[in-house]
């Protein structure tokens, strides 16, 4: 590039570059706020800004958004489960559909505004939007750490009218007993009653139940070890470190007839989920109850235990939550309030 002039102009509070290249006048915005820090940054990297403006769609494969996106995925891969990796991978594809794949230095705050606008148009739930934002910010942060001529344009924005996450379906204790009674009828698979009893009275996740073996139960001490989960990728370690746990075996489970050895539920994850979901919803239909996902058994366990006054700490340990905050955040509305007199031990206090 031939010698260029370096005038930076304040237009509407943004840094604009007014210069000439090879005798041709050039006027464009950097979209960066006009302040001393950004002025120094643009001045130092002026040629890069001009090159990105003149060649916005040129990518050499090691400087574009997908390059840093894939680099982010590879840095995460050793530390996350395969399902989470695939979720990140899918999210990356979704982000590229929104903001495109261009040289990393060609992204500005206007692209982030577009990103938020498109997310709202997609009518995604709050959890999915949070995932998109986390991945996008992480990719830009990685690029900023790798390059001295790039500044992360991402910013947090409070979005309104976001589609709420799907309401969790839960059943009452009376409905659970009715479901279990119906599931014992001969028209349903014999394993359905076993699965639903374990699910409703342990709070374990679907994959954790599918991976259970007879040897995981210690019925004498009324405990159950959860040390693995079944997923589409086979038997794996549980979802989180605290998911690896020993829980109490409650009376309804003690009454079950368990196999003497091996896995309680044979088959691959996809087939087990499909078959049990179909059978479960047949049971619900027979009882005139709304359709529900198998995961509702976990939410039902937590809601019933909280409504019956069981200790939140014990419930959190049964669910395998890493801390009580997660339990409170998800299930606080089910905690039973009490009108009993508080701090009665101080009633006899006298000065």
Q: What is the pLDDT of residues 224-242, one digit of tens each?
A: 999 999 988 888 887 677 7
| Average pLDDT value for residue range 312-329 | 85
Residues pairing with 64 in the sheet: 103
Q: Are strands 229-231 and 8-11 parallel, antiparallel or unpaired?
A: unpaired
* DSSP string of 127-161, one letter each residue: HHHHHHHHHHHHHHHHHHHH-TT----------SS
Q: Does position 89 have pLDDT exceeding 50, yes or no?
A: yes
The predicted pLDDT at position 55 comes to 67
Q: Does position 344 have pLDDT exceeding 80, yes or no?
A: no
Q: Work out the mean pLDDT of the chain and round it to a whole number.
A: 85
For residue 186, report the phi and psi dihedrals to the nearest 5 degrees.
-65, -15
| Average pLDDT value for residue range 101-106 | 86
Q: Could you tell me how far CA 287 lies from the centroid of its own chain? A: 33
Topology of domain 173-334, per CATH? hpI Integrase; Chain A (1.10.443)
Q: Does position 51 have pLDDT exceeding 80, yes or no?
A: no
Q: How far apart are CA 130 and CA 178, in angstroms?
A: 38
| Average pLDDT value for residue range 21-43 | 80
Q: Between 229 and 322, name the one with better pLDDT.
A: 229
| Average pLDDT value for residue range 283-311 | 92
The predicted pLDDT at position 3 comes to 47
pLDDT per residue as tens digits for the range 131-142: 999 999 999 999
For residue 224, report the phi and psi dihedrals to the nearest 5 degrees.
-140, 125
Task: Kindly report which listed range (94-98, 123-127, 172-176, 292-296) carries the lowest average pLDDT score.
Answer: 123-127
State the pLDDT confidence band at 56, using cuts at 50, 70 and 90: low
Q: Between 272 and 336, name the one with better pLDDT.
A: 272
Q: Does position 191 have pLDDT exceeding 90, yes or no?
A: yes
Q: Does position 68 have pLDDT exceeding 50, yes or no?
A: yes
| Average pLDDT value for residue range 34-50 | 79
Burial class (CB in 10 A: 0-12, 13-18, 19+), 230: buried
Q: Could you tell me how far CA 344 lies from the centroid of its own chain? A: 43
The predicted pLDDT at position 272 comes to 95
pLDDT per residue as tens digits for the range 201-228: 999 999 999 999 999 999 999 999 999 9
């Amino acid at each position: 590039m031939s010698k260029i002039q370096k005038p930076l102009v304040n237009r509407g509070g943004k840094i604009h570059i007014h210069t000439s290249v090879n005798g041709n006048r050039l006027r464009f915005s950097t979209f960066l706020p006009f302040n001393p820090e950004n002025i120094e940054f643009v001045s130092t990297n002026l040629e890069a800004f001009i090159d990105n403006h003149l060649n916005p769609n040129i990518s050499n494969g090691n400087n574009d958004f997908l390059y840093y996106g894939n680099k982010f995925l590879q840095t995460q891969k050793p530390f996350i489960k395969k399902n989470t990796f695939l979720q990140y991978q899918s999210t990356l594809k979704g982000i590229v559909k929104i903001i495109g794949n261009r040289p990393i230095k060609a992204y500005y705050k206007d692209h982030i505004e577009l990103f938020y606008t498109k997310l709202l148009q997609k009518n995604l739930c709050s959890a999915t939007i949070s995932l998109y934002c986390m991945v996008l910010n992480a990719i830009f942060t990685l690029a900023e750490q790798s390059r001295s001529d790039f500044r992360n344009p991402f910013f947090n924005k409070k979005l309104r009218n976001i589609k709420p996450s799907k309401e969790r379906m839960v059943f009452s204790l009376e409905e659970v007993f009715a479901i279990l009674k119906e599931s014992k009828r001969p028209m349903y698979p014999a394993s359905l009653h076993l699965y639903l009893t374990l699910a409703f009275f342990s709070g374990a996740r679907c994959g954790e139940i599918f991976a259970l073996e007879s040897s995981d139960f210690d019925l004498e001490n009324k405990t159950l070890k959860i040390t693995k989960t079944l997923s589409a990728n086979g038997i794996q370690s549980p979802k989180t470190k605290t998911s690896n746990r020993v829980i109490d075996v409650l009376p309804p489970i003690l009454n079950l007839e368990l196999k003497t050895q091996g896995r309680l539920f044979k088959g691959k994850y996809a087939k087990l989920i499909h078959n049990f979901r179909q059978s479960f919803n047949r049971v619900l239909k027979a009882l005139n109850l709304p359709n529900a996902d198998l995961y509702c058994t976990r939410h039902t366990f937590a809601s019933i235990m909280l409504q019956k006054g069981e200790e939140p700490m014990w419930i959190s340990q049964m669910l395998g939550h890493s801390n009580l905050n997660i339990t409170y955040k998800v299930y606080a509305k089910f905690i039973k309030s009490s009108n009993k007199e508080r701090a009665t031990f101080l009633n006899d206090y006298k000065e």
